[in-house]
Amino acid sequence: MKLAHRMHAGPAHIGTPRVASPFKNVHATTHAPLGDDHFNVMRPMPERDRDFTPVTASIVDRHVLARGSQDKVVENTTRKGKEERPDPIAPTPTCTPSILQEDPQNFACRASVTSDSDVTPADANHHRVDELQAADRTLEQVVRYHLNKAHGQGTLGRSLSNIPTANTIGISTLGLHNQHDCRESKRSSRDIGTGVNQIIPEGGLVGNLQNLPRAWFNPVPHREVGLLTAAYSDEEFGMPYISTTPMGILDTADCTRQMQECVGKWAPVFTNLSVDYEPYIDQQTRSVSQAAWFSRSIDCQNLTGKRAVILGDATHAAAMTKILAREMGIRVCCAGTYCKHDAGRFHERVRGFRDEILVTDDHTEVGDMIARAEPSAIFGTQTERHVGKRLDTPCGVISSPVHIQNFPLGYRPYLGYEGTNQIADLVYNSFTLGMEDHLLDLFGGHDTEAVTELSLVPMEKDLIWNPESQLELSKIPKFVRGKIKGKTEKFARQNGITNITVGVMHAARESFGA
Amino acid sequence: MLMKGPETITFERETGNYHTPCPISRVARSHQKIEDSFSLVVGTKTCGYFLQNAPGVMIFAEPRHAMAELEEGDTSAQLNDHGELKRLRPQTVGDRDPSVIIWIGTCTTEIIKMDLEGMAPRMETEVGIPIVVARANGPDYASTQGEDTVLAAMAHRCPEHSGVDEWNRPARLRLEGSPNPPEETNPPLVLSGSLPSMVASQPSSESKRQSVRVAGWLPARRYTDLPSLGAGVYACGVNPFLSRTATTLMRRRKCRLIGAPFPIGPDGTRAWIEKICSVFGIRPRGLREREDAVWEGLKDYLGSVRGKSVFSMGDNLLEVSPARSPIRCEMIVYEVGIPYMDKRYQAAESALSQETSRDMCIPMPRVVEKPDNHDQIQRMRESQPDLAITGMANANPLEARGIDTKWSIEFTFAPIHGFANARDVLQPVTRSLRRSNVGNLGRYG
């Protein structure tokens, strides 16, 4: 047993509908007790979807517990096939039936006999994989199933398209700003003269999957969902894939150069042209993205050496670490991810850009790390945002899990050149504005309320603040008060002082340069 | 638009394929009420994910609940349940020092047959804190029934009522025995249902007005203040989903149950007090006038909803009572879906609903137990109601199809009990109808 208050990645059966529901006309039947169909709330609420979520539960009740589901899942799957006439149906087990040891493969086989739709089982071990891994696997299973089927029927489109095209793999439901990222990647493809063959799973029809191999290459913008599919296509059809996330100026340029390489291989054959994206990269970096200019501007100078903590999924956390460290000169005191399964790769990608690395899915460990590091700003998930609130530290949300406010109606990509603008805004707005910072320091801030204890940092009771020093402490701006207090107490303890006076505060300030 | 319709309620039962929150969501509700309690949900990541997303921001406010997440070793019995739960206890409780720990059993503990009820007494002696077990699992219960299982388990922990059964003594002896004025002598009355303190004061003060003294609430604000129960204690529920609690109070604690309509809406509040008064032989004073005054005050609301139609999909067992108020406002209710209908516990409520629909000359809606959401949406497509009361899974898609919706969950959080909160019962129903022109930007809206 493990104690858990909050989790970063959800259970496996959330991952399956995350990639099944964005496909057009795919229906997922979950084999679950009443109330486990919470995914049906996640899509219409945070994503504000206008359609009913194509996920139905085949309810596990007492009868199922007693004698197994027998015909129930098959009946429900067949019924959905009749009602919705979907292309394929994916029966998904949740944690409960996986303990019942029922066989989804068997359900799929039997249901495909009675149903007109294709029935594919989603195979995800509840105890061993989380939401993201399950999403990645399910997508690969769906693609593999349909390509095999097309191969059997002789309808597989294997000839490369006449112009360079790409498949964007892994745009899913509940992904952070995925809709906007999708639009941005389409736009940048168009800008470099590359067509979009297919975008999966978002908005795709499984019937079209047979033409997936016609693209020249596969960009996988988010590492968490899509890599397995890309690796499968590479193995099976020799389609190269790009797993660099085009997030931030340098990585976007890197990603674009990899595209050039992929396109450059075939372009002379098909179009008699050689490709050179360097002028495009240069022009975008100078005029479309403001981030390069922002890095040089006097605003960004104020951020130099400020300390930040980063935590998120492997894609976003690694990309943000690189952006803050390389593009803005911010010191990343800790870069972390909750994607434990991708830890090795994460280490490799943030090497040299951070002081320490934290790979954990325990939110208390993250909270303690933040309290210890005392950063000026946090970039993390909604969980870290709330830690920030308690520590009076600003937080920019860069990764799921997210709330409804992270599904903005306005255009907010994180990827590509427009993405760099959004990220620059996010970073700049998260840190206290430079001038404001100075003024608050000089004039003692606008809030002089009584000193409040920080709940996350255990304070020792052996130190006494006399009334004058307490008053002095209350004059310090709230957002640095905890830090000054901690440093002063550390100084006092080091020097064997128990009674903290204003003089001790000044001495501490001198010794730490705080 | 007045119609003549059947005068008895027709009950139907469908497939039970409907959306409802898992009953463990009520954990949040009951531990909020019992301030010195701590709940431990023994389940999987699925339960944790749900709990994290359902109570929303509450999870960030130092919650008094935690998840004991079962791992592969637990479900395959490689680890010892008792040992694991004991190992987690110090971390679970931290420095909170609760007076009671509530273990919430889930689907998984049912399947692997973890004997929580058996382990609890042993653990209790080992750790010195009472441990109450409530099996609030999805295979058996729906949403608010979670609270029912917690309160039913709590009822066993209430102290024994030591007082003599005064009410049963002959009247002469009673008068000799107590010098108090007669209005103070109603036998102990315990109300069940966890209402926020603000709301709980409503039914209490209404009964006080009629000189009915409330001896205690199940649950109380603190575990240590649980009311005493026993033969001679009268019990009455304030919420329609507390049938297990009622059964426990009657059968195990020998209380006498007052079967009354629920104090939801002005008509319900009046009927609720009238029933309690009639049991105690008290003549209620000024109740009709009070109810009329409340309706008078709601005039501005009533105009906008008269003749409109409502379809309640059903997911929290509160459906019958909030459907009665719209009928009283001359709205037409097409269908009342409900996860589970205890016809005995809700008998008085059903009777009042029938009476209301007869009085208003509005046909009694059909009551559909264990509804099928897919079929309900087909029926809604045909009947085109003005308003659908439904869960969050269906709300936005229905709005996109031109049907105004109201989240059913709001009824479980909004203060809807008593005369003073009458406006709040109608507010959820009428809000969507009142705003229906706001977002309508012509044909592009």
Given an 8 Å threshold on Cβ–Cβ distance, is A35 in contact with B140? no
Q: Best interface-test mutation with A: which of B92, B103, B107, B149 has the largest number of A CBs within 10 A?
A: B107
Q: Is the pLDDT of residue A514 over 60?
A: no
CATH code, A153-288: 3.40.50.1980
Q: Which residues of A contribute to the annotated binding site? A: 36, 434-435
Same domain, B335 and B432: yes
> For B47, which residue in chain A has the nearest alpha carbon?
A36
The CATH code of domain A297-442 reads 3.40.50.1980
Which residues of chain B lie closer than 8 angstroms to A68, CB-CB?
Answer: none
Give yes or no for A67 touching B (CB within 8 A): no
- What DSSP state is assigned to residue B214? P
Residue A144 amino acid letter: R
Closest Cβ opposite residue B396 in set A6, A50, A59 = A50
Q: What is the mean pLDDT of residues B383-406?
A: 91
Residues B221 and B312 reside in one and the same domain: no
Name the A residues in 169-228 with CB < 8 Å from any B CB.
Answer: none
Residues of chain A with CATH 3.40.50.1980: 12-129, 153-288, 297-442
Q: Which residue from A minimizes the CA distance to B375?
A: A83
**Is the minimum CB–CB distance between A1 and chain B shorter than 8 Å?**
yes
Q: Which of A50, A60, A95 sits opposite B45 (nearest CB)?
A: A95
Q: Is residue B168 part of a domain?
A: no
Confidence of residue B183 (pLDDT cuts 50, 70, 90): very low
In a domain, B142, yes or no: no
Q: Which of A49, A191, A254, A299 is catalytic?
A: A299
Question: Cβ of A33 and B63 within 8 Å?
Answer: no
A62 and B63 in contact by Cβ < 8 A?
no
Phi-psi map region of A382: left, alpha, beta (phi>0 left; psi -120 to 50 alpha) = alpha
For residue B130, what pLDDT is reported? 93
Predicted local distance difference test score (pLDDT) of residue B444 = 44
Statement: residue B437 has pLDDT above 80? no
**Of the candidates A11, A33, A64, which has its C-beta nearest B49's C-beta?**
A11
- Of the candidates A3, A7, A48, which has its C-beta nearest B49's C-beta? A7
Tell me, what's the pLDDT at B171?
46
What's the CATH code of the domain at B48? 3.40.50.1980
Counting beta carbons within 10 angstroms of the beta carbon of residue B423, is it exposed (0 to 12), middle (13 to 18) or buried (19 or more)? middle
Asked which of A339-343, A390-394, A454-458, A477-481 is least confident by mean pLDDT, the reply is A454-458
Nearest 5°: the CA angle B238, B239, B245 is 90
Contact (CB<8Å) B139/A56: no
User: Residue B256 pLDDT > 90, yes or no?
Assistant: yes
Shortest Cα distance, chain A CAs vs residue B23, angstroms: 8
Residue numbers in A near B85 (CB within 8 A): 1
How far is A360 from A331, CA to CA, in rounded Å? 21
Range from A202-211, A453-462, A487-496, B102-111 carrying the lowest mean pLDDT: A453-462
* Interface test mutation site (partner A, options B396, B401, B405, max chain A beta carbons within 10 A): B396
Asked if B67's CB is within 8 angstroms of A4's CB, the reply is yes
Residue percentage of chain A with pLDDT more than 70 = 93
DSSP string, A327-338: IH--EEEEEEES
Taking the CA of residue A276 and the nearest CA in chain B, the distance in Å comes to: 44
* Chain segment A43-88, per-residue pLDDT in tens: 888 888 888 888 888 888 888 888 777 788 888 888 888 888 887 7
| B406: closest CA of chain A, how far (Å) | 14
On whether both B330 and B399 belong to a single domain, the answer is yes
* Residue from A6, A30, A38 to probe the interface with B (highest B Cβ count within 10 Å): A38
What topology does CATH give the domain A12-129? Rossmann fold (3.40.50)
Q: Find, in chain A, the residue whose alpha carbon is nearest to that of B88.
A: A3
% of chain B exceeding 70 in pLDDT: 87
Query: Total domain count for chain B?
Result: 3
Contact check, Cβ <8 Å, A36/B50: yes
Domain assignment present for residue B206? The answer is yes
Whether residue A38 and residue B79 make contact (CB cut-off 8 A), yes or no, is no
CATH superfamily of A464-512: Proto-chlorophyllide reductase 57 kD subunit B (1.10.8.550)
CB contact under 8 A, A100 and B85: no
Dump the DSSP string for B217-269.
EES-SSGGGPPPB-TT-EEEESSTT-HHHHHHHHHTT-PEE-----SBHHHHH
- With a cut of 70, say whether residue A258 has pLDDT above it: yes
Q: Note whether residue B40 is domain-resident.
A: yes
- Omega prior to B219 cis, within 30 of 0: yes
The reply to whether residue A2 touches residue B16, judged by beta carbons under 8 angstroms, is: no
Q: Are A124 and A15 in contact (CB under 8 A)?
A: yes
pLDDT > 50? residue B413 = yes
Q: Reduced to 3 states, what is the DSSP secondary structure of residue A38?
A: coil
Q: How far is CA B118 from the centre of its chain?
A: 28
Which of B237, B253, B280 is at the close of a domain? B280
Mean local confidence (pLDDT), A474-479: 73
pLDDT tens-digit profile of A213-224? 999 999 999 999
How many of the other CB atoms lie within 10 Å of CB of B201?
15
Which candidate from A45, A60, A95 shows the least CB-CB separation from B44? A95
Asked if B213 and B184 count as a contact pair (C-beta separation under 8 A), the reply is yes
Query: Quick one: average pLDDT of A1-22?
Result: 86
pLDDT at B179 over 70: no
Domain termination residue (choose one: B263, B280, B297): B280
Instruction: Please report which confidence band the pLDDT of residue A456 belongs to, taking 50, 70 and 90 as the band edges.
Output: very low
Residues B428 and B301 in one domain: yes
How much is the mean pLDDT over chain A?
A: 86
Residue contact B107–A33, C-beta within 8 A: yes
Check whether B176 has a pLDDT greater than 70. no
Instruction: Please check whether residue B128 lies inside any domain of the structure.
Output: yes
Residue A104 vs residue A221, higher pLDDT: A221
Q: For A377, phi and psi rounded to 5 degrees? A: -155, 155
On the question of pLDDT at B56 being above 90, the answer is no
Percent of chain B with pLDDT over 90: 40
pLDDT of residue B384 exceeding 80, the answer is: yes
Query: Which residues of chain B lie closer than 8 angstroms to A37, CB-CB?
Result: 19, 393
CB contact under 8 A, A41 and B52: no
- Please compute the mean of the pLDDT values over residues B167-195 and round it to a whole number: 63
Q: According to the model, what pLDDT value does residue B440 have?
A: 53
Give pLDDT tens digits for A134-155: 999 999 998 998 899 999 999 9
- Does A99 contact B112 at a Cβ distance shorter than 8 Å? yes
- Please give, rounded to a whole number of angstroms, the shortest distance from the CA of A242 to a CA of chain B: 32
Which pLDDT score, from 0 to 100, does residue A458 have? 47
- Smallest CA–CA distance, residue B80 to chain A, in Å, is 10
Mean of the pLDDT values across residues A24-31? 85
**Residues A471, A273: Cα–Cα separation, whole Å:** 73
**Among the ranges given (A246-250, A438-442, B274-278), the one the predictor scored with the smallest mean pLDDT:** A438-442
Domain end residue (candidates: B243, B263, B280): B280
Domain shared by B111 and B206, yes or no: no
- Which residue positions of A form the known binding site for [4Fe-4S] cluster? 36
Q: Where would I find the H helices in A313-457?
A: 314-322, 328, 343-349, 363-373, 382-391, 416-430, 434-443
How many Cβ pairs within 8 Å bridge chains A and B?
Answer: 156
Residues 6+ apart with CB under 8 A from A436: none
- A39: pLDDT confidence band, cut at 50, 70 and 90? confident
User: Pick from A2, A6, A60: which is nearest to B71 by CB?
Assistant: A2
Per-residue HEC secondary structure of B299-316 comes to HHHHHHHCCCEEEECCCC
Query: Least CB-CB distance to A65: which of B50, B71, B110?
Result: B110
pLDDT(B95) > 80: no
Nearest partner of B206 among B297, B295, B322, B290, judged by Cα: B290
Residue type, B118: G
**Containing domain of residue B292, as a range?**
11-15+288-440
A-chain residue closest to B107, CA distance: A96
CA proximity to B17, closest of A60, A98, A122: A60
B18 to chain A: nearest residue by CA? Answer: A34
Determine whether the interchain pair A40/B393 forms a contact, defined as Cβ–Cβ distance below 8 Å.
yes
Annotated binding-site positions of A for substrate: 434-435
Alpha carbon distance B271, B289 (integer Å): 13
For residue A453, the model assigns a pLDDT of: 45
3-class state of residue A203 by DSSP = coil
Closest-CA residue in chain B for A36? B22
Whether residue B219 is found in the same domain as residue B264:
yes
Residue A447: active-site member:
no
Name which of B49, B71, B112 is nearest A1 (Cβ-Cβ): B71
Mean pLDDT value of segment A33-40: 85
Say whether A56 and B17 touch across the interface (CB within 8 A).
yes
Q: Are residues B363 and B305 in the same domain?
A: yes
CB-based contact (8 Å) between A96 and chain B? Answer: yes
Do residues B254 and B293 both lie within one domain? Answer: no
Q: Which residue of B has its CA nearest to A1?
A: B70
One domain, residues B309 and B419:
yes
Query: Is residue A449 very low, low, confident or very high in pLDDT (cuts 50, 70, 90)?
Result: very low
Tens-digit pLDDT profile for residues A405-426: 889 999 999 999 999 999 999 9
Q: What is the mean pLDDT of residues A174-203?
A: 90
Residue B180 lies in a domain: no
Q: Which amino acid is at B93?
A: V
